């Protein structure tokens, strides 16, 4: 079958980018559930599970002033390759019985360096009119990897945790090999200053520039809230399943997470077809629906309806986040560079993730049930997106 002339897949270099992203995201998600199983087997308390993700996102926050510069200073395909190599070292550290928190923090360092390069390379490979479609393909590749990686991590962890970790290491190695196939693009800003103080000043300037831009601020708030909610839901499912459904294995929470991922693939595809960068605000009602659906889901006590509700959560989430990502990339490329724009986005998103995870851990530590936590989480998220929508409508008046 011949590719349409306007298909982003026709652009040289995009296919290995998508392949590398698939392998990297697959291993990321399989590793999370394998490491959670490791904590469970070692009898760590439930409230400590989100700390695993906290050390991961802390790497994003601490490295945010520097990773955008690195992505623009060197060829982005090579940056992605080195970053996946660091992730490989992290999973090996976990596998040889070094602290899972330390090993997972290394994976976080690799992910922090990888993120601005993987999104920034889209703006360098694709023309503007294909950027939303390219983002849809990237998100589709990512979510397909989350779908398969999450389930694989849970199934393998139920069978043998060490085997699950070995599979993660092999998949990271495949990601490195896929990165090698990406054409060596010219660096966006090869002669930029490398001094840490000036890099920090540049990052602060980039942050101020983007947050002062109304469209960028809108995108940053929306994407940050979405991914903060997404990571919290992931951990909520781990403790919700035994309480609401009475199922004690590792596979069921990962399968439920996969249902969200499956829905996001569909939502990303719909957004790529029906929402342009110029009308990204049309996606906001879908974000409100995410919160309402999570509220209904938290009260569910049967497995099949839970699957259906989480697919709908994913569809609305994908429709919500893809146009906002494309909007930020387009505005960022024109103002501070795509690498710096994505680094600022990473700081915002991971700051939100860290805040939500701290609140979630505190709620569980204080004895709140998974059901009550889920209901409160869904209602608060819907209200927050409603406020964002009202603000966006008033801005246009």
Is residue 5 helix, strand or coil?
coil
- Tell me which residue has tokens 């409603």: 386
Helix axes 370-396, 284-298, angle to 10 degrees: 170
Is residue 47 helix, strand or coil?
helix
CA distance 229 to 357: 9
pLDDT of residue 171: 95
pLDDT of residue 186: 65
Is residue 250 helix, strand or coil?
coil
Q: Which fold has domain 9-188+196-396?
A: Growth Hormone; Chain: A; (1.20.1250)
CA distance 62 to 396: 35
- 59 Cβ contact partners less than 8 Å away, ≥ 6 residues apart: 105, 108, 109, 111, 112
Q: Environment class of residue 360 by beta-carbon count within 10 Å: exposed (0-12), middle (13-18) or buried (19+)? A: buried
- 104 Cβ contact partners less than 8 Å away, ≥ 6 residues apart: 31, 35, 52, 55, 56, 90, 94
Q: List the chain pLDDT tens, one digit each, 397 residues.
A: 334 446 666 666 778 889 999 999 999 989 988 998 888 887 777 777 788 888 888 888 888 778 777 777 788 888 899 999 999 999 999 988 888 899 999 999 999 888 778 877 877 777 766 777 777 788 778 877 877 888 888 889 888 898 999 999 999 999 999 888 887 766 666 656 667 777 788 788 888 888 888 878 888 888 888 888 888 888 888 889 888 888 888 788 888 888 888 888 788 788 877 776 666 667 788 889 999 999 999 998 999 999 999 999 999 998 888 888 777 777 777 777 766 777 788 788 888 888 888 888 888 888 888 889 889 989 999 998 898 888 877 765 4
- Pick from 72, 175, 84: nearest CA to 123: 72
Do 254 and 334 meet the contact criterion of CB atoms below 8 Å apart? no
pTM of the model: 0.74
CA distance 340 to 202: 9
The total number of residues written for the chain in this structure? 397
CA distance 284 to 289: 9
Q: What backbone torsions phi and psi does residue 302 show, to the nearest 5 degrees?
A: -125, 145
CA distance 55 to 107: 10
Torsion sign over Cα 26, 284, 303, 370: positive
Other CB atoms within a 10 A radius of the CB of residue 316 amount to: 25
Can you give the residue ranges of every domain in the chain? 9-188+196-396
Q: Give the pLDDT confidence of 268-291 residue by residue, as tens digits.
A: 788 877 776 666 667 788 889 999
- 96 Cβ contact partners less than 8 Å away, ≥ 6 residues apart: none
- Tell me which residue has tokens 């490791």: 38
User: 363 is written with which tokens?
Assistant: 């709620």
CA distance 14 to 8: 7
Q: Give the pLDDT confidence of 116-135 residue by residue, as tens digits.
A: 788 778 777 777 667 777 77
């Amino acid at each position: 079958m011949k590719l349409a002339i306007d298909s982003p897949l026709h652009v040289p270099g995009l296919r290995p980018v998508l392949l590398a992203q698939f392998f990297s995201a697959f291993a990321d998600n399989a590793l999370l559930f394998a490491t959670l199983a490791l904590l469970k087997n070692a009898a760590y308390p439930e409230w400590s599970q989100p700390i695993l993700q906290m050390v991961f996102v802390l790497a994003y926050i601490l490295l945010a002033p520097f990773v955008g510069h690195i992505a623009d200073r060197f060829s982005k395909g090579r940056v992605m390759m080195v970053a996946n190599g660091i992730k490989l070292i992290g999973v090996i550290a976990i596998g040889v019985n070094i602290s899972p928190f330390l090993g997972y923090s290394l994976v976080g360092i690799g992910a922090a360096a990888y993120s601005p390069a993987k999104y920034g390379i889209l703006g360098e490979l694709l023309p503007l009119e294909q950027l939303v479609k390219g983002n849809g393909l990237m998100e589709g590749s990512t979510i397909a990897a989350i779908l398969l990686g999450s389930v694989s991590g849970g199934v393998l962890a139920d069978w043998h945790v060490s085997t699950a970790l070995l599979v993660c290491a092999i998949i990271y190695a495949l990601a490195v090999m896929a990165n090698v196939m990406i054409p060596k693009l010219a660096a966006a800003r090869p002669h930029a200053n490398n001094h840490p103080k000036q890099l920090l000043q540049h990052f602060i300037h980039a942050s101020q520039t983007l947050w002062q831009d109304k469209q960028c601020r809108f995108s940053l708030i929306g994407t940050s809230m979405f991914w903060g909610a997404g990571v919290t839901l992931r951990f909520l499912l781990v403790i919700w399943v035994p309480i609401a459904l009475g199922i004690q294995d590792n596979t069921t929470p990962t399968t439920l997470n996969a249902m969200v991922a499956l829905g996001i693939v569909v939502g990303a595809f719909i957004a790529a077809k029906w929402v342009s960068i110029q009308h990204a605000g049309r996606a906001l009602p879908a974000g409100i629906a995410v919160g309402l659906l999570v509220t209904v889901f938290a009260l569910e006590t049967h497995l099949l309806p839970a699957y259906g509700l989480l697919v709908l959560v994913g569809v609305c989430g994908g429709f919500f986040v893809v146009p906002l990502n494309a909007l930020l990339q387009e505005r960022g490329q024109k103002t501070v560079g795509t690498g710096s724009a994505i680094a600022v986005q990473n700081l915002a998103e991971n700051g939100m993730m860290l805040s939500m995870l701290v609140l979630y851990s505190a709620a569980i530590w204080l004895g709140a049930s998974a059901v009550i936590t889920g209901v409160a989480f869904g209602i608060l998220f819907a209200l927050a997106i409603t406020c964002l929508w009202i603000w966006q409508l008033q801005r246009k008046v």
